[in-house]
Chains A and B, each alone.
Chain A
Amino acid sequence: MSGSRTGKSLTKYKIVFLGEQGVGKTSLITRFMYDTFDDHYQATIGIDFLSKTMYLDDKTIRLQLWDTAGQERFRSLIPSYIRDSHVAIVVYDVTSKKSFEYIDKWVEDVKSERGEENVVLCIVGNKNDLSDERQVSTEEGERKAQVLNAKIFIETSTKVGFNVKNLFRKIAKTLPEFQKSDNVPIDDSTSKRKPDVIDITTNKEEQDQTGCQC
Chain B
Amino acid sequence: MDNSVGTVRANGKHSKTDGRMVYLSTKSPSVPNLNEAYHGRFGRRISPERPQSQLSPLSIAEDPTNASLIDLYGDDDDDDDENENENESQSAEVVQNSHKSPEIESTPAFSRSVSTGIQGSSEYLSRDHATKDLSQYDRYGFKKQNAHITQEQYHEWWEEYSRYCIRRKRKWQDLLAKSGLAISNNDVPDRFPPRSEKLKRYVRKGIPAEWRGQAWWQFARGQEKLNKNKGVYDKLLAGINARSDKVSGRDLEVIERDLHRTFPENIHFQKQPNNNEEPLMIQSLRRVLLAFSDYNPKIGYCQSMNFLAGLLLLFLDEERTFWMLVIITSRYLPGVHNINLEGVNIDQGVLMLCVKEYLPDFWQRIVTKDQSRNNEFLYRLPPVTLCTAGWFMSCFVGVVPIETTLRIWDCLFYEESHVLFKTSLFILKICDQEVTAARRMARNKNLSKDDSDIEMFQAIQTVPKKLVDPQIIFERVIFKRRNSLNDLSQDEIDRCRRYVSAQRLKFKNYADIMGDRSTANENTKRDISMGSDFVENALSSEVYGFRRSLTAAHWNNSIKERVRQIRRK
Contact = CB atoms under 8 A, between A and B. Distances in A.
A69 B522 contact: no
Interface stretch (A109-117, A135-143, A152-160): A109-117
A149 interface: no
A46 B445 CA distance: 31
B528 to A, nearest CB: 7
Contacts of B457: 49, 51, 64
Contacts of B381: 80
B107 interface: no
A77 interface: yes
Given A42-B398, A43-B303, A22 B387 contact: no
Contacts, number: 110
A49 B446 contact: no
Interface string B379-417: 011010011111001100010000000000000000000
A21 B303 contact: yes
Contact of A80 (B261, B383, B398): B383
Given A43-B262, A45-B394, A114 B302 contact: no
Contact of B261 (A9, A43, A77, A115): A43
Contacts of A113: 519, 522
B356 interface: no
By Cβ-Cβ distance, the 4 closest A-B pairs, closest first, are A46-B390, A45-B390, A6-B448, A40-B264
Contacts of A43: 258, 261-262, 303-304, 306-307
A38 interface: yes
A12 B454 contact: yes
Interface in B331-371: 339-341, 344-345
A42 B454 contact: no
Contact of A76 (B258, B341, B393, B522): B341
22 contacts: A6-B446, A12-B451, A21-B257, A22-B257, A42-B265, A43-B306, A45-B390, A45-B393, A46-B386, A46-B393, A51-B457, A51-B458, A64-B457, A71-B254, A74-B303, A74-B341, A77-B386, A78-B386, A80-B383, A81-B386, A114-B522, A118-B523
Nearest to A7: B446
Interface of A: 4, 6-7, 9, 12, 21-22, 38-43, 45-51, 62, 64, 69-71, 73-74, 76-78, 80-81, 83-84, 112-115, 117-118
Interface of B: 254, 257-258, 260-265, 302-304, 306-307, 339-341, 344-345, 380-381, 383, 386-390, 393-394, 398, 445-448, 450-451, 454, 457-458, 460-461, 519, 522-523, 526, 528
Contacts of B447: 6
A50 B390 CA distance: 16
Majority secondary structure, A binding face: loop
Contacts of A62: 454
Contacts of A39: 260, 264
A138 to B, nearest CB: 24
Contacts of A22: 257-258, 261
Contact of A46 (B307, B387, B450): B387
Contact of B448 (A4, A38, A47, A64): A4
B458 A21 contact: no
Contacts of B340: 73, 76
Contacts of A4: 448, 450
A22 B90 CA distance: 45
Contacts of B341: 73-74, 76-77
Contact of B528 (A7, A40, A47, A80): A80
B339 A47 contact: no
B522 A115 contact: yes
A73 B339 contact: yes
Contact of B454 (A21, A51, A114, A118): A51
A47 B262 CA distance: 16
Given A48-B461, A78-B386, A71 B303 contact: yes
Contacts of B254: 21, 71
